[in-house]
């Protein structure tokens, strides 16, 4: 009976590895996120020169848009950093089932961060395309 139960139960290490692999994939987007943040920050600091090139823009409106985009990118980055600081790969004192439940929950958290990363990267890319940046 014990042997049969073992075969039907996943090892927590498999789920933990899935979380780590997913995390690594999401982290690839962090470079894009940071690069877009820097580009937006540069535009924000040089709105007057942007006005020369694009005289039709409302610099006050653009300043607000830029601030919001930069803040959203920063929040997405903070979410990943917070997750990494709170993530505990050591499951000492937990049963295999508890560890699996923990890592499944953590995978959902990374999926939420991934979704936020993709949303904010798309929004910032769309903005940057307006000015060929």
Nearest Cα to Cα of residue 119 among 74, 81, 73: 73
* pLDDT tens string 78-113: 999 999 999 999 889 999 999 999 999 999 999 999
Residues 15-65 have pLDDT tens digits of 999 999 999 999 999 999 999 999 999 999 999 998 999 999 999 999 999
- pTM of the predicted protein model: 0.84
Q: Which of 18, 10, 2, 21 is nearest to 98 (CA)?
A: 10
Query: What CA–CA distance (Å, rounded) separates 16 from 11?
Result: 9
pLDDT greater than 60 at residue 67 = yes
Which residue is listed with tokens 């995390």?
A: 23
Distance set, CA 120 to CA 8, 17, 20, 73 (Å): 40, 27, 22, 6
Rounded distance, CA 109 to CA 26, Å? 12
Query: pLDDT grade, residue 132 (50/70/90)?
Result: confident
For 114, what's the count of Cα atoms within 13 Å in the CB-facing half-sphere? Answer: 15
Sole residue written with tokens 């933990």: 16
Predicted confidence (pLDDT) at residue 2 exceeds the cutoff of 90? no
E-assigned strands of 52-113? none
């Amino acid at each position: 009976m014990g042997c049969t139960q073992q075969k039907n139960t996943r090892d927590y290490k498999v789920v933990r590895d899935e979380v780590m692999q997913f995390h690594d994939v999401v982290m690839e987007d962090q470079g894009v996120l940071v690069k877009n943040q820097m580009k937006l920050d540069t535009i924000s600091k040089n709105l007057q020169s942007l006005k020369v090139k694009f005289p039709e823009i409302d610099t006050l409106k653009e300043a607000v848009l830029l601030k919001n985009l930069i803040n959203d990118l920063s929040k997405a980055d903070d979410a990943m950093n917070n997750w990494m600081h709170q993530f505990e790969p050591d499951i000492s004192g937990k049963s295999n089932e508890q560890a699996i439940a923990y890592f499944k929950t953590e995978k959902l958290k990374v999926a939420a961060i991934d979704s936020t990363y993709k949303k904010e990267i798309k929004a910032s890319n769309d903005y940057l395309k307006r000015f060929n940046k």
